[in-house]
């Protein structure tokens, strides 16, 4: 989605009237094991890819992993949580055959 669209969601659900890179919306436990939904701003992903020296497709993949890990219960509010998130993202990226960026972190 665009920065404008994700900014609207961020304002509506988090009270933050600004775009962000990724938002997650956990679902209630269900038999289909649907963990929830992930919204990603392509506009922000493209900017962040340039800042990180990544291809936009790589940044989008990392944002999807980041969102999925949030849906699995990981957070990144503290330094310890951020370190755990980065380690887990690198592990998942490697399993998926992606270039591992061990320093990736959420800019927002």
Cα atoms found within 13 Å of the Cα of residue 46, Cβ hemisphere only: 6
Confidence of residue 66 (pLDDT cuts 50, 70, 90): very high
How far apart (Å, rounded) are the C-alpha atoms in residues 18 and 43? 13
Distance separating alpha carbons of residues 44 and 41, to the nearest angstrom: 5
Q: Label residue 108 by pLDDT band (50, 70, 90).
A: low
Mapped onto helix, strand or coil, the DSSP state of residue 26 is strand
pTM: 0.90
Ordered by start, the domain boundaries in the chain are: 3-95
Per 3-state DSSP, the chain is made up of helix, strand and coil in percentages (nearest 5) of 50, 10, 40
Alpha helices, H only, 35-78: 42-52, 56-71
What gap in Å lies between CA 69 and CA 88, rounded to an integer? 8
For 17-61, what is each residue's pLDDT tens digit?
A: 999 999 999 998 887 889 999 999 999 999 999 999 999 999 999
Domain 3-95, what architecture?
A: 3-Layer(aba) Sandwich (3.40)
For residues 87-104, average pLDDT: 90
More confident residue, 13 or 108: 13
Lookup: tokens for 9: 């969601």
How far is Cα 60 from Cα 45, in angstroms, rounded to an integer? 6
> Over pLDDT 70: what percentage of the chain?
99
């Amino acid at each position: 989605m665009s920065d404008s669209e994700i900014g609207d969601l961020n304002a509506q659900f988090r009270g933050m009237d600004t775009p962000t890179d990724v938002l997650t919306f956990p679902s209630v436990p269900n038999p289909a094991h649907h963990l929830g939904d992930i919204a990603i701003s392509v506009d922000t992903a493209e900017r962040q890819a340039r800042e990180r020296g990544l291809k936009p497709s790589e940044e989008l993949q990392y944002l999807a992993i980041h969102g999925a890990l949030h849906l699995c219960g990981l957070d990144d509010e503290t330094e310890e949580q951020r370190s755990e998130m980065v380690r887990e993202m690198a592990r998942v990226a490697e399993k998926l055959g992606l270039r591992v960026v061990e320093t990736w972190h959420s800019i927002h």
